[in-house]
Chains A and B, each alone.
Chain A
Amino acid sequence: MTRETMSYDAIVVGSGISGGWAAKELCERGLRTLVLEAGGPIDARDFVEHVQPYEMPFRGRGDRKALERDHPIQRECYACDEVAHKFFVNDNENPYTTPNEAPFRWFRGRQVGGRSITWNRQVYRWSDLDFEANAKDGHGNDWPIRYADIAPWYTYVERFIGVTGAKEGLAQLPDGDFLPPMAMTIVEHHAREKLRTAFGGERVMTIGRAAVLTTNHNGRLACHYCGPCHRGCVTHSYFNSIGSTLPAARNTGKLTLRPHSVVAEVLYDPARDRARGVRIIDARTLQEMEFEARIVFLCASAIESTRILLNSRSTRFPDGLGNSSGTLGRYLMDHHYGSGAHGTMPGFADKRTVGHRPNGTYIARFRNVKSQRADFLRGYGMHGRSGRVGWERGASLPGYGTSFKQSLIHDLGEWNLAVEGWGETLPHENNRVTLDPDVKDKWGIPAARIDVRWRDNERAMDKDMAASAAEMLEAAGCKDVHAYVSTHPPGHCVHEMGGARMSRTPKDGVLNGRNQAWDAKNLFITDGACMASSACQNPSITYMALTARAAAHAVAEMKRGEL
């Protein structure tokens, strides 16, 4: 064991979406900050978005044998492709367990930047419809915060990262501080108008709100529309931490970034009733080390941060630091998603798309907004996409020979339109993560044991997603409409959240309304673990806003001598 003699003002565990924000805010507020990242460093030369299909042996289908060997779970994520698999963990080194009857997909990236490299970049504000939901229907605990608490922080984050979107004036999906919207396709324009008239203005299809630049912004270049953002971006045109928050932190001169640092536990000092620092294992040398700081931010991702806390056992906290309430690890959620419909849109044969828009459309939540349905609580938003398939339709198109070939070259096929739901999952105490008593990862840290199941409310909502999607596509004028209910297990949406929820009182949760642990007030958890409900919106911007808010609060308390 090596104890680092130099101590820091702050330690941040994780360097992804939340950790990057913690680093930036704490450094800019003058704190000497150590960021610990479990994975290795990367830079723009590791990005592979411009690799063409003919530069890949399997032409984009992936090296199946290698993926099955090293990424048997990760490969199920669409972004773990033939070249971007390097941004995903090796499943053999990073095991987790589930009950046989309750599969869970845990897609992870361990590298500087974390999953901010591969994320899908969709960002939507929550509203009070979301923050009040637990209190109103009694599932989960009441959030200690409301929209007014976070709204200015959403704006703060949006201005820094750059968010493209269109204002719609919807109470349930508040507008943000947007860069110019990306263009809708001609078919999406058509569908938007049809839906507006068919559903009395209740169902609004808007262009996706994404952390992708449509103009040069804060020293980063506008998007060049090459397409596969999950492989990285040499121009840093979409938000990831290595292109924006971490450089901002570095510019202060206060940042120390230590890659290959696998955090095993948060150390607790019973004499001061505070977190003392963290114990890590160097990923390469397997050497144990300790680092100390006045405050600790856990931003390792919902399940990782929860796992670290469960593993932080002491005489005072035998069941894990932060677990005085017994809620640590419980109320884990993900979005149940992918149920919807697709169809073809007749006409528009004289139009096509040019450029690869890294963004789709979004239909704001319309269920249980003004009135309450009998079949399920809460609601869902719907992501959509449209386009013409082009030559790829040839594999299932009858025909061969010259005319077949010419049609694949000169025609693009029909326009397709699809919409799919992303649904809120009710917080449930038995959806939980614990430590597996037997399995350990490569570094000897107990593996997470995850037991999350879809329940009746999610299943009822899935059916409605498929039905409402089909109804909307038909209203938009689509033909060959095919509705489907998703079979994805929990975790597949990569929106896992909860496990160390915020609460109004110490007996109801792990964190107060400022992401501060009830058990140790200098310990903050600001990633997805803090969520008391899931809403239906893509969650990352909410983590960013809560992280920035918590950092400001932490530094203010430090300056008042309270930490």
Chain B
Amino acid sequence: MSPSAASTWRWGALVQRRDFLLAAGAVAALSFVPGVAQDAWNRVATTYPPAGGLSEAHLALVSAISDAIIPRTDTPGATDVGVPAWINVVVAGYYTDSQRAAFLDGLAAIDALAQGTAGAPFAAMSSDRRERVMSILDRPNAFERFVLRLENSHMAARIVSRSAIERMLAGLAQEARAYAWLKGLVVHGYFTSERVQKEVLRTVIIPGSFDGAAPMPLGYLRRGV
């Protein structure tokens, strides 16, 4: 992770814009790496693995499920871009004590399900067997999908209070709740990673304009900076 190394890439689009070049002061300011983000990162980077995070066994399970959700293809998979390490940061530094306990209990329940269904801990089994376990874990009913959408949406608070979401989550089976959280974290961690943002999504940080009716699908992936 190196925000400053990214600066050439980040402002590639920008320096082609005459307006921005005219504003030399603005360009200087743009290349500034904000202290607040850098400080926070240094804090996390120097304390990894975090106290109160996942054990080796938990990390192995989280890694295996992460790659089952987002495997390596022609683009990186979840563990290739450090998703389990980020999940560790969330479990240690973001979750409340009760969320962390529920998450760890849920991981144990997932492994119990794996034992019962396919005779081994999830991380230790072949890909065929993992497929069998995944097909059981990943079949949310309508209620679970609804709770998931609320849990993972910033806008949810407009509709339902946080405590109501917590109550609904508490109503899910242990393994279903842990898997729901895990899937949300895997998707978020993967697509917000530096490599995926740059190499897969090719996010343009300074688009310079807005188009409300741009063509699909080619541009989404292939739009050069």
A residues neighboring B (CB under 8 Å): 44-48, 50-61, 63-65, 76, 78, 83, 86, 182-186, 188-189, 216, 221-222, 224-226, 234-235, 338, 349-357, 391-392, 394-396, 398-402, 404-406, 408-412, 420, 484, 486-488
Contacts and interface: CB of A to CB of B under 8 A. Distances in A.
Given A54-B197, A411-B217, A412-B220, 4 more contacts: A234-B30, A235-B26, A394-B183, A488-B158
Contacts of A182: 210
A412 B197 CA distance: 15
A188 B208 contact: no
A405 B75 CA distance: 10
B19 A221 contact: yes
Contacts of A357: 210, 212
Given A234-B26, A488-B158, A55 B207 contact: no
Nearest to B179: A400
A184 B212 contact: yes
Given A405-B73, A487-B161, A186 B212 contact: yes
Contacts of B86: 59
B149 to A, nearest CB: 4
A224 B208 contact: yes
A57 B88 CA distance: 11
Contacts of A189: 212-213
Contacts of B184: 395-396
A83 B36 contact: yes
Interface string B181-194: 00110011101111
Interface in B99-157: 134, 138-140, 145, 148-149, 151-152, 154, 157
Nearest to B14: A224
A64 B97 CA distance: 12
B206 A52 contact: no
Contacts of B219: 352, 354
Interface of B: 1, 3, 6, 10, 14, 17, 19-20, 23, 26, 29-30, 32, 34, 36-38, 40-41, 43-44, 68-71, 73, 75, 86, 89-90, 93-94, 96, 134, 138-140, 145, 148-149, 151-152, 154, 157-161, 183-184, 187-189, 191-194, 197, 200-201, 203, 205-217, 219-221, 223
Given A235-B26, A398-B139, A65 B212 contact: no
Given A185-B213, A395-B148, A50 B140 contact: no
Nearest to A400: B69
List the 4 shortest-distance A-B pairs measured between CB atoms, nearest first: A185-B212, A355-B210, A355-B207, A53-B192
Contact of A63 (B40, B148, B188, B197): B40
A352 B139 contact: no
Given A55-B3, A59-B86, A338 B158 contact: yes
Contact of A409 (B20, B75, B205, B223): B75
A50 B30 contact: yes
Contact of B212 (A52, A59, A183, A488): A183
Contacts of B158: 338, 420, 484, 486, 488
A59 B93 CA distance: 12
Contact of B205 (A65, A183, A226, A349): A226
A50 B36 contact: no
A184 B212 CA distance: 6
Contacts of A224: 14, 17, 20, 206-208
Contacts of A349: 216
Contact of A48 (B19, B34, B213): B34
Nearest to A46: B34
Contacts of B23: 221, 235
A484 B17 CA distance: 43
Contacts of A186: 212-213
A83 B34 contact: yes
B200 A226 contact: no
B30 A350 contact: no
A352 B187 contact: no
A355 B204 CA distance: 8
12 contacts: A57-B41, A59-B189, A61-B94, A76-B157, A182-B210, A225-B209, A226-B207, A354-B209, A354-B219, A395-B151, A401-B71, A405-B69
B36 A86 contact: yes
Nearest to A391: B191
B195 to A, nearest CB: 9
Given A57-B40, A410-B220, A405 B206 contact: no
B4 to A, nearest CB: 10
